[in-house]
Amino acid sequence: MIFHLLLGFLLLIGVFAKFYALAVVIVGFLSILKNKNSYEQAAMWSAYLAGSDVLFRMSGGMFFHEMHKYAIALFLITALIVEKKKSEVNPIFIFYILLLLIGIAFSDIPYPESVRKAIAFNLSGPISLGVAAIYFYKRQFSITRLLDVLYCLALPIIAILSLLYFKTPDIRDIAFGGAANFVASGGFGPNQVSTILGVGVFVFIAHLLFKKKFTTILFFDAFLIIYLFYRSLLTFSRGGLLTAIIAILFFATLFIYSKSDRITSVFKHIGIVMFFGLSVWIYTSDATGGMLENRYTNRNASGVKKKDLTTGRTEIFNSELEGLFKNPVFGMGVGSGKFKRLETTGLVIASHNEMSRLLGEHGMIGVLILTMLILIPIFNAWQQPAYAKAFLGAFFIFWFLTINHSAMRVSFPGFIYGLSLIRIKLNETSKPKNESLKE
């Protein structure tokens, strides 16, 4: 924990960022091989990669753009091969990956653009999701082990907090307006930064409700929840923050239902979180000169209501639906949507919505893919108790809403989708938190 607070400062050194990113991949891979995935090392190291994707993009630690997506797929495939206790592999997700590949045959990428890069940019996320789904489908996790996985997911998010503290100017020197703020987001995409900070809030609250301290000191846990929420607000990205809030509300509602015998204690914790959340909102609004309200009420810096709530996403969505209607069976082809928009608008705009991209670039095959991706986790959660539904539903919400406002730019949506497919059981005796990362 303390190391990751220091890590945010160290990652300001570009060379160190690349060294650390590579070290994580190598050490994680060797840990999985050495332990033969005996304590879900693959899940924990993959969680760490999913949480650190934004961190290394912010700090220049990536050796190539989609490194974490490939590394997560490598970890999970390796674990499936080396683990002693073989888990069920559902062929439906192998079929899902094969369906994705069909769209490559219909790609229409103009010269001199790189066909390989266009395909990798658009398919690395969905294929990484497919590998995660194959690995996690109906895999058994106790609450303790699941919280350990979430702990690994949140560790690099702590480093992001530290990096933002050192990298961004004083709030009084930042010009806030009616749009997402790249300066307050550490120079990286506000959508992605806000989303991953919101995930951090969720992980801390999950630990809090299960009476497991993240830092061993409750005061520090509370402080980090507040600071995560504050930094997420400062990004001025609505999609990322609202996604986290909806997921947390869903989780808290089902958690209360599953703990009806301790409802007073649960409401006390939730009440405290809501009080501090409102306080942080009021403080942040004042610190940004009222611009926070303008952003969330869809007004510009002058307070004038904007016509488009989606900041141009509706136009992109419509262009991809048009691609579906013109090419209903196989779609426009993988990676073609951006270049079709270039022809019609003169602007190179990548999709922000993975659902519409699948429909536009894969046609009716995309409809089948989406149907599979939505129904399978719902049926999986339906058969499980309320406390399990709380987690699985929150994971599904994070995936579904994230791909609708920032597509699959980073590896987190694919990984969290995989977690929505697990089976959650009552606790069993397990190793101390984070032990597998030390081996």
pLDDT of residue 273: 79
Of 164, 162, 161, the residue nearest 174 (C-alpha): 164
Cis peptide bond upstream of 190, omega within 30: no
With a cut of 90, say whether residue 147 has pLDDT above it. yes
With a cut of 90, say whether residue 230 has pLDDT above it. yes
Instruction: Classify residue 126 by its DSSP letter.
Output: H
What is the band of 251 on the pLDDT scale with cuts at 50, 70, 90?
very high
Q: Which domain holds residue 238?
A: 2-438
pLDDT of residue 74: 97
What is the band of 330 on the pLDDT scale with cuts at 50, 70, 90?
confident
Residue 291: which residues within 8 A CB-CB, separation 6 or more?
Answer: 176, 177, 178, 236, 285, 301
With a cut of 90, say whether residue 419 has pLDDT above it. yes
Give the residue-averaged pLDDT of 196-209: 93
The total of structural domains in the chain comes to: 1
Percent of the chain past pLDDT 90, that is, above it, reads 51
Over the Cα atoms of the chain, what is R_g?
21
Amino acid residing at 279: S
pLDDT of residue 429: 43
User: What's the pLDDT tens digit per position in 85-115?
Assistant: 877 788 999 999 999 999 888 877 777 677 7
One-character DSSP codes across 244-298: HHHHHHHHHHHHHHHTGGGHHHHHHHHHHHHHHHHHHHHHHHHHTTTHHHHHHTT
d(CA 375, CA 365): 16
Identify any residues that bridge with 424 across adjacent strands, giving them in sequence order: 141
3-state secondary structure of 351: coil
Note if the pTM is more than 0.85. yes
Name the residue with higher pLDDT: 298 or 95.
95
Give the residue-averaged pLDDT of 413-436: 75
pLDDT of residue 16: 94
With a cut of 60, say whether residue 439 has pLDDT above it. no
d(CA 137, CA 140): 9
Instruction: Classify residue 140 by its DSSP letter.
Output: E
